[in-house]
């Protein structure tokens, strides 16, 4: 065989390639880059470098240019069209990423810009790996009109197609306005940086014209608003580097795709570890709040709990932990806020988290201490019946291993909703301190023994006696256990080892879904 000789590429062609690449990598004027840094913001490529493993980024569509001619002075914008896209690695795992460049036409989205994002999303779906979008854009490019709007719609369609197939993460590191906000809203997790991230459908000027209100950027769409009130934001960060650190940490709890499971590192925490603190919490006054996060940490490997949406709907706590190395999703009522009662925000927050875990093969642990649904005209008028049902629907739909521990109160319909045996929770445990009933003992006694209390010489003493009797006879966990509604009443200190054994047993659980196109969730 003849040896193949490498064909020498003419130097002028190589130089032309290098010149084009350099122009595409540094498309903005120096003053625009300086202005970006003055705002405390990194450049688009610096963000990718900060997020990904060192030297792992492979760029796609570096030389793409807009096809539109509708720009001032007839000059075309620089190559790249205001977004950097490609694939790389995070902690050794493949990911796809795109980063909008605010120094190029304000990061505005035109057709070529959208096509670059769509292409990298398609790659992520094909390769079955997470996709991360870094958003910093002034919105749709006015010069490209309906083509820009069509570009947004193409992205939205891929967000929906990728939903439940691959993890989707959005980092809002600047403005994100108008139609642009719907892509992050369709993704699984949204990150924002305090002071520099803003999301809103209509900006302050339009709001002023339409309503007369004069909101500031922060009050209209800042990280604090969306993390505490709207629930749009799942994580806030003090800086962009902190944001990227959190994204890398989150990915450690997630699988590559719905066909995979989260990786399980070799555990260093004893699977037989007991907790005296849990015994103390179980023995404490049921009317006094306690830290549910402490309960979670006592159960979790290394006391590590990665909470999501911590500032929103504080009456329920959701997040990720590990049990003997295995990633689990945790949903827990928080007695320190609204007594742990379910309301609209808590139901929607927990319902979406349950559906995420079910989509990505993450087993669910539910820690129950719930007095019921939060009452009131506000909740009823805003649709607690319909919106509160979302959590019930999510649990009933979930086929991953599902284990419940009733810590203290489990009253009324909220008992059913919080992954009870009746909605096909796999295993249900209860602490000796648990109370399971139609309503709280005090309220039940007031209804059932009203006449006796009214006629009593010392109604307060009689009320205490009757309440104690009601708890023993009707609200005790042993009553529920005698009916098979609780599989076992366990000592609180043994919660961690018992859960590890239970999840290990359920590891190979298989559930067949009902044949249908899809259900009709009460959206």
**Residues 354-379: tens digit of each pLDDT:** 999 999 999 999 999 999 999 999 99
Shortest CA distance to 235 belongs to which of 193, 205, 277?
193
Do 237 and 88 lie in one domain? The reply is yes
**272 backbone dihedrals φ, ψ, rounded to 5°:** -105, 10
Cα(285)–Cα(151) distance, rounded to whole angstroms? 58
Res. 65: pLDDT tops 90: no
> Does residue 244 share a domain with residue 325?
no
Do 309 and 176 fall within a single domain?
A: no
State pLDDT tens for residues 462-475.
788 887 877 777 78
**344/198 same-domain check:** no
What phi, psi does 200 have (nearest 5°)?
-165, 155
The residue-averaged pLDDT of 54-77 equals: 80
More confident residue, 347 or 142: 347
Residues 384-391: what's their mean pLDDT? 97
Same domain, yes or no, for 247 and 318?
Answer: no
Within-domain flag for 261: no
Please name the residue ranges forming H helices in 39-144: 44-51, 111-127
Structure tokens at 462: 């009689």
pLDDT, mean of residues 32-57: 93
User: Per residue, what are the HEC states of 124-156?
Assistant: HHHHCCCEEEEECCCCECHHHHHHHHHHHHHHH
What average pLDDT does range 259-282 have in this prediction? 96
Asked if the structure places residue 338 within a domain, the reply is yes
364, 354 Cβ separation under 8 angstroms: yes
In angstroms, the Cα distances linking 55 to 42, 90, 130 are 18, 11, 19
Question: Both 426 and 320 in a single domain?
Answer: yes
The pair of structure tokens assigned to 485 is 């509604």
Higher pLDDT, 449 or 211: 211
Residues assigned a catalytic role: 178-179, 413-414
Domain closes at, from 201, 235, 251 = 251
List CB contacts of 306: < 8 A, sequence separation 6 or more.
249, 250, 253, 319, 320, 321
pLDDT in the model for residue 18: 87
Q: Which of 421, 391, 381, 389 is nearest to 404 (CA)?
A: 421
Q: What is the dihedral of CA 331, 333, 336, 339, to 10 degrees?
A: 160
How far apart CA 23 and CA 15 sit, in angstroms, is: 12
d(CA 405, CA 98): 41
pLDDT band of residue 1 (cuts 50, 70, 90) is very low
Share of the chain above pLDDT 90, in %: 72
d(CA 436, CA 415): 7
Tracing tokens 């795709």 back to the chain, one arrives at: 257
Both 293 and 178 in a single domain?
no
Q: How many domains does the chain have?
A: 2
Helix orientation angle between 145-162 and 111-127, rounded to the nearest 10 degrees: 10
Task: For 103-137, write each residue's pLDDT tens digit.
Answer: 988 899 999 999 999 999 999 999 999 999 999 99
CA distance 373 to 392: 12
Give a yes or no: residue 42 inside a domain: yes
Q: Do residues 176 and 78 both lie within one domain?
A: yes
Same domain membership, residue 352 and residue 246: no
Do 216 and 350 lie in one domain? The reply is: no
In a domain, 445, yes or no: no
pLDDT score for 9? 61
Residue 70 has pLDDT above 80, yes or no: no
Q: Is 8 exposed, middle or buried (0-12, 13-18, 19+ CB in 10 A)?
A: exposed
In the predicted model, what is the mean pLDDT of residues 138-154? 91
Q: Domain check: are 197 and 318 in the same one? A: no
The answer to whether position 342 is within a domain reads yes
| CA–CA separation, 372 and 370 (whole Å) | 6
Q: Give the three-state DSSP class for 358.
A: helix
Residue 193 has pLDDT above 50, yes or no: yes
Q: Is residue 104 part of a domain?
A: yes
Judged against a pLDDT cut of 80, whether residue 398 lies above it is answered with yes
What is the pLDDT of the chain when averaged over all its residues? 92
Q: Which of 121, 116, 147, 145 is nearest to 132 (CA)?
A: 121
Look-up: residue for tokens 């997040």?
A: 319
Strand partners, 4: none
- Rounded mean pLDDT, 18-47: 85
Q: What is the mean pLDDT of residues 300-327?
A: 98
Q: CA-to-CA distance for 467 and 464, rounded, in angstroms?
A: 5
Q: Which domain CATH number covers 344?
A: 3.90.226.10
In sequence order, which residues have a C-beta less than 8 Å from that of residue 276 and are 6 or more positions away? 493
Beta strands per DSSP E along 194-273: 198-200, 235-237
In a domain, 481, yes or no: no
Q: Is there a single domain that holds both residue 171 and residue 308?
A: no
Please tell me the pTM assigned to this model.
0.93
Query: In terms of residue numbers, what domain contains 201?
Result: 36-251
Q: Does residue 309 carry a pLDDT above 90? A: yes
- Confirm whether 215 is domain-assigned: yes
């Amino acid at each position: 065989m003849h040896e193949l000789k490498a064909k020498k590429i003419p130097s002028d062609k190589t130089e032309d390639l290098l010149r084009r690449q350099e122009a595409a990598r540094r498309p903005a004027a120096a003053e625009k880059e300086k202005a970006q840094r003055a705002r405390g913001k990194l450049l688009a490529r610096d963000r990718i470098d900060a997020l990904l493993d060192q030297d792992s980024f492979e760029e796609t569509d570096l030389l793409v240019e807009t096809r539109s001619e509708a720009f001032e002075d007839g000059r075309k914008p620089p190559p790249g069209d205001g977004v950097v896209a490609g694939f790389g690695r995070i902690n050794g795992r493949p990911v796809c990423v795109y980063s909008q460049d605010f120094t190029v036409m304000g990061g505005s989205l035109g057709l070529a810009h959208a096509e670059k994002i769509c292409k990298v999303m398609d790659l992520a779906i094909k390769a079955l790996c997470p996709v991360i979008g870094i958003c910093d854009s002034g919105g749709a490019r006015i010069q490209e009109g309906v083509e820009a709007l069509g570009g947004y719609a193409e992205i939205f369609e891929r967000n929906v197609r990728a939903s439940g197939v691959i993890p989707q993460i959005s980092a809002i590191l600047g403005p994100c306005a108008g139609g642009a906000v719907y892509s992050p809203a369709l993704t699984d997790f949204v990150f924002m940086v305090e002071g520099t991230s803003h999301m809103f459908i209509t900006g302050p000027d339009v709001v002023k014209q339409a309503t007369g209100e004069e909101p500031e950027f922060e009050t209209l769409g800042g990280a604090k608003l969306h993390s505490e009130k709207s629930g749009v934001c799942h994580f806030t960060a003090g800086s962009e580097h902190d944001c990227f650190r959190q994204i890398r940490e989150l990915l450690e709890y997630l699988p590559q795709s719905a066909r995979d499971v989260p990786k399980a590192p070799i555990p260093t925490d004893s699977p037989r570890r007991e907790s005296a603190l849990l015994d103390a919490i179980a023995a404490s006054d049921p009317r006094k709040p306690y830290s549910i996060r402490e309960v979670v940490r006592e159960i979790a490997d290394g006391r590590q709990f990665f909470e999501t949406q911590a500032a929103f709907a504080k009456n329920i706590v959701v997040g990720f932990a590990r049990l003997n190395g295995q990633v689990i999703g945790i949903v827990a009522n928080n007695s320190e806020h609204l007594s742990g009662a379910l309301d609209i925000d808590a139901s929607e927050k927990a319902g979406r988290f349950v559906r995420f875990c079910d989509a990505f093969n993450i087993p669910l642990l539910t820690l129950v201490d719930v007095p019921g649904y939060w009452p009131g005209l506000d909740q009823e008028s805003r649709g607690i019946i319909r919106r509160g049902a979302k959590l019930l629907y999510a649990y009933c739909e979930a086929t991953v291993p599902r284990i419940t521990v009733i810590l203290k109160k489990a009253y009324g319909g909220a008992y059913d909703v919080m992954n009870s045996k009746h909605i096909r929770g796999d295993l249900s445990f209860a602490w000796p301190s648990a109370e399971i009933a139609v309503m709280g003992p005090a309220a039940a006694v007031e209804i059932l023994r009203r006449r006796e209390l009214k006629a009593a010489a010392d109604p307060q003493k009689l009320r205490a006696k009757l309440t104690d009797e009601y708890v023993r006879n009707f609200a005790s966990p042993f009553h529920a256990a005698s009916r098979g509604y609780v599989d076992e009443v366990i000592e609180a200190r043994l919660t961690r080892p018992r859960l590890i054994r239970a999840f290990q047993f359920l590891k190979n659980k298989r559930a067949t879904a009902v044949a249908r196109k899809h259900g009709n969730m009460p959206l």
